[in-house]
Amino acid sequence: KNYSIFDLLKPILMPSIDFELPKSIHFPHKLFNYQVEGIKFLISKEFALLADQMGTGKTVMSITAMRILFLKGKIKKAVVVVPSNLISVWEDHLLKWSPELVFLTLNENKKSRKQLYTKDAHIYLISYDTLKNDYKFSKDLLKRFSKGIDLIILDEAHNIKNPDALKTRAVKFVSKNSKIRWALSGTPLQNNLKELLSLYEFLNPQFKVEKKISEEEARELIKPVMLRRLKKDVLKDLPEKLPPEIERFDLSPLQQAEYDYVLGKETERLQEIYDRFKGDKNFRFIMKQNLIQSIQKLRQICNFPTKGIDSPKMERLREMVVELIKDGEKIVVFTNFVKAGVEKIVKNLSFYINPDYIVTYHGSMKPEEKKEAVNQFRNNDKKYVFIGTLGSAGEGLTLVESSYAVFFDLHWNPAKIWQAEDRVHRIGQKNKVNIYSFVMKNTVEEKIVQKLEEKRKMIDNVIDGIESKEAEIITIEDLIDFVGLKTYKEDADALQNKGSA
């Protein structure tokens, strides 16, 4: 990641914070009953494991419980440790669910981080990897920082499943002065004795394994401090289809370099086309087609670097897939691309799960192959992952065997997204549906999401044939805005008068 001068100066320029907090508390929207129970569970425990299944809102519950403790004056300093790819997710949730609390993200830049460690905040957000590196190279700094920590929260707490790993030792080192410890994990740990005991040692540092302990004894040990609800257990509380959850990530350094290079090249190319065809009667059509071509190139880089099969999106999807398979759950993944989507996702996942668990669905397949793919996913208990392109799998299919859908990348036509959502949310669906959308920050994808939100508000219902009216939904001005081509904005009125594409 490239850091600006502001990133380096931010710790110095930050004002001191006001620790006087309001007495009342307001929420962005109503909490579900089971979430209220989860919050009560957390605030009643000095150490707790919230092990609810994915999609139940563990992040919201833990932030709200932490917020209540701050407002009641029970804590003054909290640390949240998360996987690197979930930093942005937590930042978004903290802004939304604890607006009066000041949080600092202890980022990957070592110079600014040294300053940030000494700055006042209510909440410090740090990744496992950053914590591990500081434990290894800046132990004294970490020791000073650990003083005064009242609460520490571990998200995806199975990251400390190996008691001997440097990551685990770093977490236990920074938390040694913390009186309250909460762990969040949707991954069922009950059947792995070593992992369970490592987690329990974090929660209860007084606990030491002095004799050989059976799995049954370990489960009994953790039972009083663990709360686990499956999605099916809380169905009555949930709406039919939960609001889509947008998860934002930073481009990897490799992606960032490639994205910046391609954006520069495409800007030059589009400028040449603009200058060449400006007076042409087909100018609007030519410009739109070339804009779409440029945007598609940038969107593919947002998924994966051209010569790689790993990325922040892929890392997050992989975690979700592995966790859901352990729970015996199925998942549907939508992407707009075959090579930079379906194929790379399959190749990456195949290193971590049995490739036989996966079915694919895209336009290059024969009709009988597509039919068999759907049949296998719906009727074979060992086919856990359906990966399809939005163009082919986004309409006409029934995939209600899964109640989890991930949009690896988004289409700019909201109608296509709604139709894809309805593949898993239609008659025959017995569970509530969780929908996740992956978006790369500070890219064309973020602009597409903003435009989609505007369009969602404009269009109340998806009507038959709306796809054919895509020109009415996304204009050439929208496409120009996606790429950020300010030159063309000056002539937006002229473009509008040229007629529609």
- From residue 203, how far is each of 175, 226, 391 by CA, in Å? 10, 11, 47
**Short-list 405, 411, 409, 368, CA closest to 385:** 405
Residue 500, classed as helix, strand or coil, is coil
**Structure confidence at residue 169 (pLDDT):** 94
**Structure confidence at residue 488 (pLDDT):** 53
Q: Which CATH class is domain 311-442+456-470?
A: alpha beta
Phi/psi for 123 (5° steps) reads -130, 135
Q: What is the average per-residue pLDDT within 15-31?
A: 68
Least confident of 2-16, 202-216, 322-336: 2-16
Does residue 205 have a pLDDT over 90?
A: no
**Structure confidence at residue 209 (pLDDT):** 64
Same fold flag, 5-237 and 311-442+456-470: yes
**Short-list 197, 187, 183, CA closest to 230:** 187
**Short-list 118, 62, 120, CA closest to 89:** 62
Domain-by-domain residue ranges, the chain? 5-237, 311-442+456-470
Residue found by looking up tokens 């685990």 in the block = 168
The pTM of this model reads 0.76
Does residue 238 have a pLDDT over 70?
A: no
Q: What is the average per-residue pLDDT within 430-437?
A: 84
Give yes or no for a contact between 252 and 312, defined as CB atoms under 8 angstroms apart.
yes
pLDDT tens digits, 449-469 = 888 777 665 544 333 333 434
**Structure confidence at residue 468 (pLDDT):** 38
Does residue 493 have a pLDDT over 60?
A: no
Instruction: Quickly state the pLDDT bin for 324 (edges 50, 70, 90).
Output: very high
CATH node for 5-237: 3.40.50.10810
Instruction: Quickly state the pLDDT bin for 472 (edges 50, 70, 90).
Output: very low
Does residue 490 have a pLDDT over 80?
A: no
Least confident of 153-157, 214-218, 273-277: 214-218
Name the more confident of 6 and 225. 225
Does residue 473 have a pLDDT over 80?
A: no
